[in-house]
């Protein structure tokens, strides 16, 4: 074969690879729906009680949730610069690789695949299963069956194509936001004022750091915009806009829902509630209210699971392009525009966690222990990467620059460092397990290096 024919084959292969790659298919509204759908999930029906138990006063509750929105906005401004300067399907994986090298990026992708993303999918699926079982039970393992069905069906939906996944997300997000607003209206309009006033003084404050861990857990997910930066239309304009608008919607919703909880239940009852949303609706409307809330939680869970599946597989795809040990995930299905194999592996891990969860299930707070230290460690690194890349690659075009640099990213990094400290100090054995799972990726990294050196 001649050299010219070789070059021709390489050109043809390059063209094929370019075609079978992420395309800008997401509009501004699609990006907002994905971000809001990921963030506003079942957590808002769990964490407000935990925050109230740490707050000590009603005004402190409101300030914690407002602070969560401010912190998220500061982080979003940092991510907007990174995502517009380095649009890539791998998102944070790509930034960390450019700033700190392949090893750090590998461990992040491994952590996301084994702890952060799949753990979130399994947790949300179990919550969905619990509430769905309350409406129609499927036997002894009803919650697990529902959880597995949700993961399998939503993974299949995203494999069928980008269009099906994004329209499902848009619908679920719209229903979630409208449903939460209805809870707000019911809670604020029909709750007796005296309830909140009489109950408020009976709780004492706790740890501000732990309260912010729970608050920012509920705000977690806006950073997923980084993983759609290669697929969003007019990215230079829409990435920053979608982040700012999404966080505005989320913050307003969270403030209103907590005001409704405080008015309807009071601080003490809110702090002591195992299901704060159900307690509010049951107090005002009785069983019909509890039934409505169960349906709302189901929709919230499905929206969050779908969005988490959608963005999570993108990191796995990027990982496979760089590390041969995960090369089987590197295929991108051209016609439906989706990373099919990465979605299949993510779904399989999620189903495995559901299976294990039927045997050793420790509840919501243990899952926070499991994921929080890892999440905040890599979040801190992503903030630091902005400084590193600004210094190392000053020639890169940055369509959006974070305002008040370097103060804004410094503040973001300081918050991440504090939350990393808090998540280690106030968490239990779950944190140790999460760290051990991430550390288990080191032998795979070394094996990949060995394979690459022999190739």
Digit-coded pLDDT (tens) for 250-266: 999 899 989 988 888 88
Average pLDDT over residues 328-348: 71
Average pLDDT over residues 32-57: 81
Q: 376: closest CA among 414, 407, 350?
A: 414
Task: Give the CATH fold of the 24-383+402-454 domain.
Answer: Amino acid/polyamine transporter I (1.20.1740)
Highest mean pLDDT among 6-10, 115-119, 258-262, 382-386 belongs to 382-386
Check residues 162 and 385 and name the one with the higher pLDDT. 385
d(CA 177, CA 190): 20
Classified as helix, coil or strand, 232 is strand
- Please check the confidence at residue 367 and state whether its pLDDT lies above 60: yes
Give the C-alpha separation, 184 to 155, whole Å: 32
The larger pLDDT score, comparing residue 61 to residue 234, is at 61
269 token code pair: 């009852």
Residue 163 to residue 167: CA distance in whole angstroms: 6
Whose tokens are 């243990």? That residue is 366
Indicate whether this model's pTM tops 0.85: no
405, with CB counted inside 10 A (0-12, 13-18, 19+), is middle
Q: What percent of the chain has pLDDT over 90?
A: 17
Cα gap 239→231, rounded to integer Å:
10
Kindly state the average pLDDT of the residues 192-205.
46
Whole-angstrom Cα distance, residue 278 to residue 292? 9
**Cα gap 162→147, rounded to integer Å:** 23
What is the number of residues in the chain? 455
Asked if 191 and 322 touch (Cβ cutoff 8 Å), the reply is no
Rounded mean pLDDT of 54-68? 90
CB distance 66 to 251 below 8 Å: yes
Which pLDDT score, from 0 to 100, does residue 201 have?
Answer: 40
For the chain, give every domain's residue range: 24-383+402-454
Please state, for a pLDDT cut of 70, what percent of the chain lies above it: 79
**Cβ atoms within 10 Å, residue 25:** 15
């Amino acid at each position: 074969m001649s050299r010219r024919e070789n070059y021709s084959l390489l050109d043809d292969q390059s063209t094929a690879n370019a075609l079978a790659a992420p395309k800008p298919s997401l509009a501004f509204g699609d990006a907002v729906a994905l971000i809001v759908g990921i963030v506003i999930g079942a957590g808002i029906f769990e964490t407000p009680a935990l925050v109230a138990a740490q707050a000590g006063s009603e005004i402190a509750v409101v300030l914690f949730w407002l602070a969560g929105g401010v912190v998220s906005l500061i982080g979003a401004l940092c991510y907007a610069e990174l995502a517009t300067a380095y649009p890539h399907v791998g998102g944070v994986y790509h930034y960390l690789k450019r700033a700190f090298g392949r090893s750090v990026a590998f461990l992040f992708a491994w952590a996301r695949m084994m702890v952060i993303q799949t753990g979130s999918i399994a947790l949300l699926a179990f919550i969905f299963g619990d509430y769905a079982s309350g409406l129609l039970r499927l036997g002894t393992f009803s919650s697990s069956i529902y959880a597995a069905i949700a993961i399998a069906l939503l993974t299949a939906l995203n494999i069928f194509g980008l269009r099906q996944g994004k329209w499902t997300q848009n619908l679920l997000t719209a229903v979630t936001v409208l449903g939460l607003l209805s809870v707000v209206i019911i809670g604020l309009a029909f709750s007796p004022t005296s309830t909140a006033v009489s109950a408020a003084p009976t709780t004492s404050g706790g740890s501000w750091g732990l309260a912010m861990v729970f608050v920012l857990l509920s705000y977690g997910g806006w950073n997923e915009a980084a993983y759609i930066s290669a697929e969003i239309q007019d990215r230079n304009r829409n990435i920053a806009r979608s982040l700012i608008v999404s966080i505005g919607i989320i913050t307003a919703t969270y403030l209103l829902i907590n005001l409704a909880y405080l008015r309807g239940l009071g601080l003490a009852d809110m702090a002591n509630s195992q299901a704060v949303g159900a307690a509010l609706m049951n107090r005002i409307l009785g069983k019909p209210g509890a039934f409505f809330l169960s349906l709302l939680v189901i929709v919230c869970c499905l929206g969050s699971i779908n969005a988490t599946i959608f963005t999570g597989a993108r990191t796995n795809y990027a990982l496979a392009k760089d590390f041969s040990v995960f090369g089987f995930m590197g295929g991108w299905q051209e016609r439906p525009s989706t990373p099919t194999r990465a979605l299949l592996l993510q779904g399989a891990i999620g189903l495995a966690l559901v299976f294990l969860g039927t045997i050793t299930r420790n509840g919501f707070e243990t899952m926070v222990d499991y994921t929080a230290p890892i999440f905040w460690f890599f979040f801190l690194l992503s903030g630091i990467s902005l400084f590193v890349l600004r210094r190392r690659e000053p020639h890169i075009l940055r369509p959006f620059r974070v305002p008040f640099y370097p103060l804004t990213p410094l503040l973001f990094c300081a918050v991440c460092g504090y939350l990393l400290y808090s998540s280690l100090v106030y968490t239990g054995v779950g944190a140790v397990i999460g760290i051990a799972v991430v550390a288990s990726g080191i032998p795979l990294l070394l094996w990949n290096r060995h394979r690459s050196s022999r190739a």
